[in-house]
Amino acid sequence: MGDRTVVINPNSDRAVTAAMDRNLESLRFAGGPAICCETLDDAPPGIETARHADQVVGPLCDLIAREDHRAGAFVIACFGDPGLASARETTNKPVIGICEGGVTVALNHGEHYGILTNLPDDIGAGLRQIRGLGLDARLAGIEACGIAVTDLGDAQRAEPELAAAAQRLKDRGADVVILGCAGMVPYASGVERAVGVRTIDPVHAATGIAMTAARSCNKGT
Amino acid sequence: MGDRTVVINPNSDRAVTAAMDRNLESLRFAGGPAICCETLDDAPPGIETARHADQVVGPLCDLIAREDHRAGAFVIACFGDPGLASARETTNKPVIGICEGGVTVALNHGEHYGILTNLPDDIGAGLRQIRGLGLDARLAGIEACGIAVTDLGDAQRAEPELAAAAQRLKDRGADVVILGCAGMVPYASGVERAVGVRTIDPVHAATGIAMTAARSCNKGT
Amino acid sequence: MGDRTVVINPNSDRAVTAAMDRNLESLRFAGGPAICCETLDDAPPGIETARHADQVVGPLCDLIAREDHRAGAFVIACFGDPGLASARETTNKPVIGICEGGVTVALNHGEHYGILTNLPDDIGAGLRQIRGLGLDARLAGIEACGIAVTDLGDAQRAEPELAAAAQRLKDRGADVVILGCAGMVPYASGVERAVGVRTIDPVHAATGIAMTAARSCNKGT
Amino acid sequence: MGDRTVVINPNSDRAVTAAMDRNLESLRFAGGPAICCETLDDAPPGIETARHADQVVGPLCDLIAREDHRAGAFVIACFGDPGLASARETTNKPVIGICEGGVTVALNHGEHYGILTNLPDDIGAGLRQIRGLGLDARLAGIEACGIAVTDLGDAQRAEPELAAAAQRLKDRGADVVILGCAGMVPYASGVERAVGVRTIDPVHAATGIAMTAARSCNKGT
Amino acid sequence: MGDRTVVINPNSDRAVTAAMDRNLESLRFAGGPAICCETLDDAPPGIETARHADQVVGPLCDLIAREDHRAGAFVIACFGDPGLASARETTNKPVIGICEGGVTVALNHGEHYGILTNLPDDIGAGLRQIRGLGLDARLAGIEACGIAVTDLGDAQRAEPELAAAAQRLKDRGADVVILGCAGMVPYASGVERAVGVRTIDPVHAATGIAMTAARSCNKGT
Amino acid sequence: MGDRTVVINPNSDRAVTAAMDRNLESLRFAGGPAICCETLDDAPPGIETARHADQVVGPLCDLIAREDHRAGAFVIACFGDPGLASARETTNKPVIGICEGGVTVALNHGEHYGILTNLPDDIGAGLRQIRGLGLDARLAGIEACGIAVTDLGDAQRAEPELAAAAQRLKDRGADVVILGCAGMVPYASGVERAVGVRTIDPVHAATGIAMTAARSCNKGT
C-alpha cells in the first residue's frame, strides 16, 4: 500500500498548486514519504461561490478514486473544504480539509486564532463553516483583505493588504493567524514578519496531519 | 538551530517512555529530523492528582530550558497537559500538549470524538479541561476503563477494559476515540481492531504537529 | 411578478412529491397563491449520501433559474438542505430549506425538539448540520427509525418504527418532533396520534415560511 | 372549530394595532382564513419595563380564554413575548410570540440577524431573552434607535433613526434585520429600502407561522 | 439605612417560610444583621405554573416597596425566580433569586451541578431558565422527585424520593446537588447524608450572597 | 471544629493582604465567625506568569494543611485561582477561588459582567480561564488598565486608569464590573463612584460564599 500524501488544489490555477508545492518542500526528506500536489483541471480558476464549490465535488472524487491505490492520505487544499464529506465516502484513507486541518493545528499555537479571507462577503459563510466545525469558541475573528482569490498573484498588492488585515486580527485578540485561502500561502512568511504574530499556512499544517496519519502504526493492514 | 522534536514524558515511568518511543518509530526517517523521548525522573510514577500535575511543572520547565538550543519543538506527553502555559513562557519554540494536540487531530478523523480515561473520578476534570480548550462541541463523551495509570502495564487486564470503554464511546456516537493517557499508547492498535473505530494515539498525533511546526517555512531566523 | 411557491423534491421519487403535495393542500385557497411541487427527475431516487447531495445541486439550480420568473419563493424539500447556498446565489427570491425551516418552526411549538432520521449512520451528519445552523441549544436528540429513505413507502413497516423512534425522542425530553426526511411526511398524523407529541411536517412548515415571505409587504418592487 | 388567527397587541395603543393590521393585509384572501387583530385595552400604552410585561399577563390570558373557541392560533405581538408560557397553559392552540417567531423566521433569510430595539437600556434584557431562546449563535447584535415605544408614531424622527441603527447592524455583519418592537412595523419597507438589507416585520412573520400551524393536517380532531 | 436581609417566600404556605427561617438560623449572630423571612399571603400555596409565577409579581413588588426603607438586600425564595426583573426595577438594593443565587454558589462547590425538581413536566422549563441564565455549561442534569410542591411537607415520602433523585443526578456526573424548590429545604441534610454528595439549600446560599452584598464597603451613601 | 474563614493571599506582598483585610472588616461581627488573612511569604511579590502560579501551589497547600483543623472554609485570593484543584484535594472544607467566586457573585448583580485586568497580555489567559469555568455566556469583556500587579500600590496612577478601563467595559455592555486582581481591591469604591456601575471586590464576594458555606446546616459532623 502506498503512503504518498496527495494534496489536491481543487481549482485549475496551476500557479497556486506550484506555490503550495514550494511551501511543502520542508516536509520532504530523502527517505521520507512522497507528497504530490495535483491541480483539478476540470474546475474554475478560483472557488469563489457556493456553486463553484458544489461543481468541483464530482471531479475531486474522481481524482481521489484514481489515486487511492497509491495514496496514504489526501488533502483538499481549498479553505471551503469543498466535497470533504463526499471525499470521505470515496476512500477510507484519511482526507484532511485545509480549513478543519489549519484551524485545528492553529489551536496548538495560540489561544485565539484569526482567519484572513478574501472579500467582506465571504465572512458570513466563513463563520457558518467554523460554527459547523464546532470550532468557534477560540475564534478571534475573520478579516477580509479585499482581494479576490484570482487576484492574489499580485504580490505587490496582496502582501501589504494581508498584513494589514492580519494586524486587525491581532488587534481583536488573535495570537495566531490562518491564511484562509490556498492562494495566500506564498505570503505566510511575509505576513508573520510584518505583524509579529504566528501565521499558519493551512496547506502545510493539513499536510502534516495527513502525513502523520498515513504513518500511524494503528492502521489496519 | 536544531530541529529535533523533544517528547517529554512528565512522569518517571520509563516503561511508558519506551512505549511512546516505539509508537513514534513510524515518524522517523534516515534523512528526517530526530525525535527524542525524555523521562522526567524528578516526578511521580504517574500523574494522578492535580497536586502531581502542579509538582512536575518546575522540573518540566527546567528540562525544556536545557534542551531548547537543539530543539525545534516540544511535546508534553501527559493528557492533563501539565505545565503547558508555563512551558510556553520558557521557550518560543512550539510546545504541543497531547490533550490539545490529540483532540485537535482527532477532529480531522471523525465527526464526534470520545476520550478513554483511567478512573471514573477523572471524568469531571477531563470535561473541565476540554471545556477550557473550547473543544466540547464535538465531544461524544469520556469513559473510564477503571484502571489507574500505574496499572496500565498489565496488558491482559488493560486491553479488554479499554476496548469495552471504547465500545461504550462508540455507542454514544463517537466515530473516533482518543487514548486519554500516555500509558495507554501500547493498546492503540488493539483497541482499534477490537472496536472498529479509528483510535488516536495522542503522543503520535501531537508529535506530528510538533514536527510539522518545527519545519514550517515561516519561522523567524 | 409571480407569487407561486415552488416546492422542489430534489430526488426523482414522484411518490414522495405526490405525498408532499397532498400535505400542502391545506395551505391552498381559491383566491390564494399557487403552490407547485416539482420532482427533480435528473436525481437519484433518494439522497442517501453526501455525494448524492452534491450531485443534485446543478440540476436543482437549473430548475430554480427556469422557474424564477413566475416564483415568489422556493422550498428545497430534502432534509439535508442540499444546495441551499448555491440556490440562494441563483435567485434573489427567498429559498427555504426544510431542515432550517422545519427546525425553526418547531422551536415555536415546543421547548426542546427531536428529529427522526432514517439510519443510525445519519445521526452524526445530522448533528453537524444542526450545529452549522446554530440551532443545537434546544435539540433533545436525533433518533433513527432504521428505514432507508427508499423504503419509507412501506407504511406497514414505517409508521410503527417512526412512532417508536418518536417515543424515544419524547423520553429524551422532546416536546415536539420533526420528520427528518421528506419521505416521512405521509406519517405525520399517525406519529402525532401514536405518541401524543406535536409532530412537524417540515415541508408544510417551510412552505408556510416561503408563502409568507413571498407576500411580505416590504419586498422590492 | 375555528381557524382564525388572533393577533394580540398586548398594549393599549390602537394605532399600533392598526399598523399591524395593515401589514397583515397581504396574508388575507377572499377564501382564506381570518386574521383578527385585538388591542389589550386593559394594558399600558407601551410595554417598557419588566413590570409592564408582568402586568399584562392576566388580561392577555383572559382574552385568549374568551377567543379560544373560534381561534386556530394566537400571536402575542410584543417583542418581549410577555406571558407566552402562561398563554400556552391557557390554550392548546399554537401561541406564537413575535420575538421567537420573528427571529426563527429571520434565520431562514440570512446568515446573521440583527435586532433593532428602542433604548440602549433594553439591550441587556434583549440579549438575555435571545439567550433564553437558545438563538444567540447567529445573532450579529442588537442596536437601539433611541426612541421609546410610545414615541415611535413620529415617522419623521423614527424612520431615519431606525435606518441608521439598521445600518450599524449591517456593519456588524447582519444580513437580515428584525424590527424588535411591534411599534416599528410601519417602517419595515422604509428601513429595507434605505439600508438594502432584508428587514423582517416580526408580526407578519409570526402570523405566517401561526396561520400555517392552524392549517396543519396533523392536528387532533 | 437598614441592613436587614428580607427573604420573601412568594407563596402563601407559612410552613415553607418557617422551614427556611430555621435553616437560616446559622447565619444569625448576636451583633450581626437581621434576616427576616416574609410570606406572601396574597399568593397561591405553591407556584406550580407559569400563570402562578406571573400572578405573584404584583404583590411581591408591593412588599419590596414597603420594606425598602429598612432593607439592605432582598431574596426571592422561589426557584423559578418569579418577578426578579420587576423586583430589580422596584428597588436599587440587591435582589437575589434563589435559582440564580443557588446555582452560582453551587458552582463553587463542585465541577458539575444537578438540580432536584418536583415533577417531570417541570424539567423543560427548568432547562430554559438555566439557559436564560447562561449557566448550562456545567449542568449535569435536572431530575424530578415526583412530588408536587404542595405535597413536600410529607417527610416520610419526600426525603427518600429526593435522595433517589439526587442519586440519579450523581450517576449523571453531578458532584453538587441543588434543592430546586424552596419547599425542599428541610431535607438538605438528609439528602446530603443519604447520597454523599454536597447538597445546596438555595435559600441559605442566596441569603449569604444578599447579606454579603448588603455589607459591601463600596455601596453608595 | 473551627469555623474561621482563612483568606490566603498567595503572593508575598503584605500591603495587598492588609488592603484585603480592611475591605473584609464589614463582614466581621462581635459574636460572628473569625476571618483571618494570611500572606504566602514563600511566594513572588505578584503572580504575573503561569510559572508564578505553578510555583505557589506547594506552599499554598502546605498552609491549608496547617490551618485545616481550625478552619471552616478557605479563600484563595488571587484572580488566577492558582492551585484551586490541588487545594480541594488537600482539605474537604470549601475552598473558594476569587475568580470563580467573584464572577459567580457578580452574575447576581448584573446581566453582563466585565473584568478589569492588569496588562493587555493577560486578556487571552483570562478568557481561557472564564471559558474553563463555563461562565462566558454573560461576559461583556475583559479590559486591561495597563498597570502591573506590583505597581497597583500607586493610587494616583491606578485609580484613574482602572476607572477608564471600567468605563470601556460599561461601553461594551457590562452592568457589573469585577476587579480582576486582588491588588485592585483598595479601588473598589472609587471605581464604582467614578463610573456608576456596580463594582465587585472579588475577595469580599468570595469570602461571603466561604463564610456562608462554613455555616451551612447540612455539613457532616
Alpha carbon of A202: minimum distance to chain D alpha carbons (Å): 25
Specify the pLDDT at position B152: 95
Specify the pLDDT at position D220: 43
What is the enclosing helix (H) or strand (E) of A119?
A: none
Chains sharing 3 or more CB pairs under 8 A with chain F: A, B, D, E
Question: Which residues of chain F neighbour D123 with C-beta distances below 8 Å?
Answer: 173
pLDDT class of B42 with cuts at 50, 70, 90: confident
Interatomic CA distance for residues A86 and A82, integer angstroms:
9
Q: Is the pLDDT of residue A1 over 90?
A: no
Specify the pLDDT at position F74: 98
Phi/psi-derived region of residue B49, left when phi > 0, alpha when psi is between -120 and 50, beta in every other case: beta
Residues 6+ apart with CB under 8 A from D115: D103, D126, D130, D139, D141, D142, D143, D169, D177, D178, D180
Choice among A44-48, C95-99, C213-217, F36-40 with the minimum mean pLDDT: C213-217
Residue type, E40: L
The cell for A141 is 475573528
Residue E86 DSSP code: H
Q: Let me know if chains C and E touch, i.e. at least 3 Cβ pairs under 8 angstroms.
A: yes
pTM (2 d.p.): 0.96
E198-200 β-sheet, strand order:
E139-144, E113-117, E176-179, E198-200
Contact D125 F111 (CB under 8 A): yes
Q: Which residue from E73, E92, E113, E103 is spatially nearest to E207, judged by alpha carbons? A: E73
pLDDT class of D218 with cuts at 50, 70, 90: low
C176-179 β-sheet, strand order:
C139-144, C113-117, C176-179, C198-200
> Is the Cβ–Cβ distance between B59 and B40 less than 8 Å?
yes
Q: Is the pLDDT of residue A70 over 80?
A: yes
Q: Let me know if chains F and A touch, i.e. at least 3 Cβ pairs under 8 angstroms.
A: yes
Specify the pLDDT at position B32: 86
Residue to substitute from C42, C48, C52, C54, interface A, most A β-carbons within 10 A? C54
Task: Give residue for cell 432507508.
Answer: C148
Specify the pLDDT at position F99: 98
Q: With H, G, I as helix, E, B as strand and everything else as coil, classify residue C5.
A: strand
| pLDDT, mean over chain A | 94
b/e map E90-116, b = 16+ CB within 10 Å: bbebbbbbbbbbbbbbbbbbbbbbbbb
Instruction: Considering only the C-alpha atoms of chain F, give the largest distance between any 2 of them, rounded to a whole number of Å.
Output: 50
Specify the pLDDT at position E216: 86
Choice among A38-42, A163-167, E95-99 with the minimum mean pLDDT: A38-42
Alpha carbon of C91: minimum distance to chain D alpha carbons (Å): 13
pLDDT tens figures, A104-151:
999 999 999 999 999 999 999 999 999 999 999 999 999 999 999 999
Q: Is the pLDDT of residue D221 over 80?
A: no
| pLDDT, mean over chain E | 94
Question: How far is residue C121 CA from its own chain's centroid?
Answer: 19
The parts of chain F modelled with pLDDT lower than 70 are 1, 217-221
Interatomic CA distance for residues C76 and A36, integer angstroms:
39
Q: Is the pLDDT of residue A183 over 60?
A: yes
Interatomic CA distance for residues F3 and F217, integer angstroms:
12
Interatomic CA distance for residues B135 and B150, integer angstroms:
28
HEC secondary structure over F95-135: EEEHHHHHHHHHCCCCCCEEEEECCCCHHHHHHHHHHHCCC
Interatomic CA distance for residues B9 and B83, integer angstroms:
12
Q: Is the pLDDT of residue B79 over 60?
A: yes
Q: Which residue from E79, E101, E96 is spatially nearest to E181, judged by alpha carbons? A: E79
- A10 burial type by CB count under 10 A (0-12 exposed, 13-18 middle, 19+ buried): buried
Residues 6+ apart with CB under 8 A from B3: B33, B34, B72, B214, B215
Where along chain C do its domains lie?
4-97+203-219, 100-200
CATH no., domain F100-200: 3.40.50.12500
pLDDT tens figures, B181-203:
999 999 999 999 999 999 999 99
pLDDT class of C218 with cuts at 50, 70, 90: low
The cell for F220 is 457532616
Which C residues, 31 through 70, put their C-beta within 8 Å of a C-beta on chain D? 31-32
With both helix axes pointing from N to C terminus, report the angle between B202-214 and B98-106 in degrees, rounded to the nearest 10.
90
pLDDT class of D32 with cuts at 50, 70, 90: confident
Please state which architecture CATH assigns to domain D4-97+203-219. Answer: 3-Layer(aba) Sandwich (3.40)
Contact B111 C131 (CB under 8 A): no
Angle at B110 between CA B107 and CA B114, to 5 degrees: 80
Q: With H, G, I as helix, E, B as strand and everything else as coil, classify residue D109.
A: coil
pLDDT class of E31 with cuts at 50, 70, 90: confident
Strand positions, DSSP E, chain A: 4-9, 35-39, 71-76, 95-97, 113-117, 139-144, 176-179, 198-200
> Is the Cβ–Cβ distance between E79 and E46 less than 8 Å?
no
Chains sharing 3 or more CB pairs under 8 A with chain C: A, B, D, E
pLDDT class of D1 with cuts at 50, 70, 90: low
The ipTM assigned to this model is: 0.96
Beta bridge partners of A76: A8, A97
| Section D179-205 average pLDDT | 96
Specify the pLDDT at position A29: 86
Q: Which residue from E177, E181, E199, E187 is spatially nearest to E154, judged by alpha carbons? A: E187
pLDDT tens figures, C123-174:
999 999 999 999 999 999 999 999 999 899 999 999 999 999 999 999 999 9
| Section A10-19 average pLDDT | 95
Segments in chain B forming alpha helices (H)? 14-24, 50-67, 84-90, 98-106, 123-132, 155-171, 188-195, 202-214
Alpha carbon of C131: minimum distance to chain B alpha carbons (Å): 9
pLDDT class of B213 with cuts at 50, 70, 90: very high
Choice among C204-208, D25-29, F163-167, F201-205 with the minimum mean pLDDT: D25-29
Contact C83 A128 (CB under 8 A): no
> Is the Cβ–Cβ distance between F126 and F118 less than 8 Å?
no
| Section E48-77 average pLDDT | 96
CB atoms within 10 A of CB D221: 4
pLDDT class of B220 with cuts at 50, 70, 90: very low
Phi/psi-derived region of residue B81, left when phi > 0, alpha when psi is between -120 and 50, beta in every other case: left
Which F residues, 177 through 206, put their C-beta within 8 Å of a C-beta on chain E? 188-189, 191-193, 199, 201, 204-206
Alpha carbon of D141: minimum distance to chain A alpha carbons (Å): 14
Q: With H, G, I as helix, E, B as strand and everything else as coil, classify residue F70.
A: helix
Beta-carbon contacts below 8 Å between C and D: 128
Task: Give residue for cell 426542546.
Answer: C112
Residue D9 DSSP code: E
How far CA A118 is from CA of A18, A40, A182, D105, E177, in Å, comes to: 20, 21, 11, 30, 50
pLDDT class of A206 with cuts at 50, 70, 90: very high
Which C residues, 73 through 132, put their C-beta within 8 Å of a C-beta on chain A? 83, 85-86, 88-90, 125, 128-129, 131-132
Residue type, F46: G
Torsion of CA E206, E210, E213, E214, to 10 degrees: -170
Percent of chain C with pLDDT over 70: 97
Same fold, A4-97+203-219 and A100-200: yes
Q: Let me know if chains C and F touch, i.e. at least 3 Cβ pairs under 8 angstroms.
A: no
Handedness of CA F111, F115, F121, F122 (dihedral sign): negative
With both helix axes pointing from N to C terminus, report the angle between A122-132 and A98-106 in degrees, rounded to the nearest 10.
70
A71-76 β-sheet, strand order:
A35-39, A4-9, A71-76, A95-97
The cell for D150 is 410610545
> Is the Cβ–Cβ distance between A193 and A217 less than 8 Å?
no
Residue A45 DSSP code: S
pLDDT tens figures, D111-121:
999 999 999 99
